[in-house]
Structure 1
């Protein structure tokens, strides 16, 4: 019997096409590392890429909040209280001027006690890379440099102002630093607790597994919202804003770890029976080394995907607690704190722009959900769509 002719493809390697066709015989595909396989799979999840493109700049902006915000956190403009969003224009009477605003002239209606604003006729160009309100960068370095500043002698309120004349855009940017990081810090704490308790339960089994499971079942049986409210209300009102921040984060982490611990336990129960685990035991490896160096890395990609899906719940929990007045409180500014100022029907009916903090919360939660879906599909590069 004559051998079949061996043909070598001259086409460039396309991992997406290789995976889509179900072919696992490409040399580059077979030699690819796990990170490459996950990245190739993740690239095919377009909506997850869009979510990642949204979240990366959002978290990078947290590092430069003071520079990006046009106003300082405590800056007030008492002449423009409850001012609606101020439009930014490019053309004035058919001529291109560049980004500019019109002055807003306000008056108080004594019959309804509602403020009305009318735009002027003179364009006021915005200033970029300019000197503005002073601040302490991350509370340490004084400065006054801003990416964009209001025109000289005018205002810049693209999202309007609140009842004290604070710029809503600046407060949203400052609030992102708290609301976005509370999810990361909370998940990091929850991640550590879940890995520890789930790891010892899955590896040792027996009585250790029994008591860890009873503890997780007890925590999961308690209604979360009343427990959140009780623990948050127990925080001393004399605590500094930083202590309150870490207190709320710790509360969220303590209530979120049981789900992750159960996932870790079930996986370790199966992995501890594998040959490589038995070989590590024979070689004298300690239980801690076996768990951290041999067992957990085998499904760490799945844990990362689970963590990305847990961050939105942390953000929503902080927003809900702060909205109810039992979470973060002024002078800390978060999206939940900003929403707490829009609890009455007057804000909804007369000043709807006070509900603007809902938008970044919704976008962030959706972005993390889509990113988590993409990561969850990417960690199994050989599965079909």
Structure 2
């Protein structure tokens, strides 16, 4: 029996599914039986409020990726020599009882001879309004189109360091926004590599069986027996030091993808082993369908929703993998900016003790990883017909 039909029968028998009432009836019952498995999955997913909220957060993050140059108030490489390790500036709305809109108070600094540190003080007498949809630092949009329009900009002849600056006086908020492009993209590209290999080897092992299954299973067992973190470190360290940042990016992505596919391949294999004996598969084989067509058109579509849920739960591990490698200095390297590269500057405990805002890049990492996990849980529950 086709899986989608059995899923629908289970929902009707147990009254577990309800797009609008306790049990599909009348026109609702007709639309329910006509619904595809993808639509059934969406109806269940949207009832998972936490997963929907997590999906919205991820949508905001990924919608930001193509426009980081516009969103960031400064260019990621711009240095402010007079504001090294400047603490975060607070945004205010009221000044001396008057509402004047979002603004920041300027910094004044003195150099402490005894501690050899810059001491910043806030000048509360001169509010500096934040500008919106304005022109500031120039950039090449996607490396192609020269532009200088920003969503929000620092005040005229002023500064706006909402998350502080680093040791070179670069705005940390702008660098976190630029780093989102690399850190979020590497998870998607890495899972594409892992997904392709998992479907290929898992499909061959599950459908063909025999010696093909034995060879692939032994290969998976060898890969999974190797310590993951030391293997990451060894492969990352093997990347040539003279590679361009783009080549290093793709190298790290391929490494993460190559080491993540065995788990997905085993899930594909186990599902194919249970589905290949179904009547609809036998019917397709009797009609002369090739093995490739049976796998790609009949078997994989019947559990693609499960694969998507599994892939969603794998993306956070790739983001964390890149962050860990870059933090240890074996992943991406400057001038590429990622959240892991930014956290690499927080290795000095003395610097963190004096300048704790250097740890701010860990906040988006935690938010994105938790959002992926919550959304993955929702997708897994929605894809499970017996949940």
Normalising by structure 2, we get a TM-score of 0.93
Contact 1:88–1:99 (CA under 8 A) maintained in structure 2? yes
How far, CA to CA, are the matches of 1:282 and 1:383 in structure 2?
31
Q: C-alpha displacement at 1:16, in angstroms?
A: 4.1
CA contact (8 A) 1:16 1:44 kept: no
Using the alignment, how far apart are the partners of 1:82 and 1:43 within structure 2? 44
Instruction: Give the alignment partner of residue 259 of structure 1, picking from 259, 263, 278.
Output: 263
Asked if 1:319 corresponds to 2:326, the answer is no
Encode CA deviations 1:320-345: one digit per residue, 9 max, x unaligned: 00000000000000000000001011
Task: Tell me the secondary structure at the aligned position of residue 373 of structure 1.
Answer: helix
Q: Give 1:63's aligned residue.
A: 66
Pick aligned residue for 1:370 from 357, 374, 380: 374
In structure 1, distance between residues paired with 2:291 and 2:34: 32
* Residue of structure 1 equivalent to 2:298: 294
| 1:203 aligns to 2:207 (yes or no) | yes
The one-character-per-residue Cα deviations of 1:189-234 (angstroms, maximum 9, x if unpaired) are: 0000000000111111000000000000000000001100000000
1-structure distance, mates of 2:292, 2:283: 15
Secondary structure, aligned partner of 1:78 = coil
Aligned to 1:110: 113
TM-score (norm 1): 0.93
* Residues 157-166 or 41-50, more deviating: 41-50
Q: State the alpha-carbon separation in 2 of the partners of residues 352 and 171 from structure 1.
A: 16
CA shift for structure 1 position 31 = 3.0
User: Matched residue pairs, number?
Assistant: 367
1:147 and 2:158 aligned: no
Q: 1:383 offset after TM fit, Å? A: 3.5
The reply on whether 1:85 has 2:92 as its aligned counterpart is no
Once residues 46 and 285 of structure 1 are traced to their aligned partners in structure 2, the CA distance between those partners, rounded to angstroms, is 42
Pick from 170, 194, 198: which aligns with 2:174? Answer: 170
CA positional deviation for 1:269 = 1.1
| Match runs of 1:1-385 below 5 Å | 15-18=18-21, 21=22, 23-25=23-25, 26-120=29-123, 121-380=125-384, 382-384=385-387
Q: Does 217-226 or 40-49 show the bigger shift?
A: 40-49
Which residue of 2 is the match for residue 3 of structure 1?
Answer: none
In 1: Cα distance, 2:372 partner to 2:351 partner = 29
Gaps of 5+ in 1: 1-13
Which structure 2 segments of 5+ residues have no match? Answer: 1-16
For residues 356 and 350 of structure 2, what CA distance do their matches in structure 1 show? 9
**Runs ≥4 residues deviating over 3 A:** 14-18, 24-28
Q: What is aligned with 1:6?
A: none
What does residue 3 of structure 2 align with? none
Q: Matches of 2:40 and 2:254 in 1, distance apart?
A: 35
Distance 1:273 1:31 in 2: 26
Q: Give secondary structure in 2 for the equivalent of 1:100.
A: strand
* Residue 145 (structure 1) shift: 0.8
SS of residue in 1 equivalent to 2:126: strand
Secondary structure at the aligned position of 1:362 is classed as: helix
SS at match of 2:147: strand
**In the aligned structure 2, how far is the partner of 1:109 from the partner of 1:208?**
71
CA contact (8 A) 2:87 2:164 kept: yes
Per-residue deviation at 1:65? 0.6
Structure 2 CA distance for aligned equivalents of residues 216 and 241 of structure 1: 31
| Matches of 1:295 and 1:200, distance apart in 2 | 12
Q: Which moved more, 1:342-351 or 1:182-191?
A: 342-351
Secondary structure, counterpart of 2:317 in structure 1: helix
- Structure 2 distance, partners of 1:183, 1:167, is 25
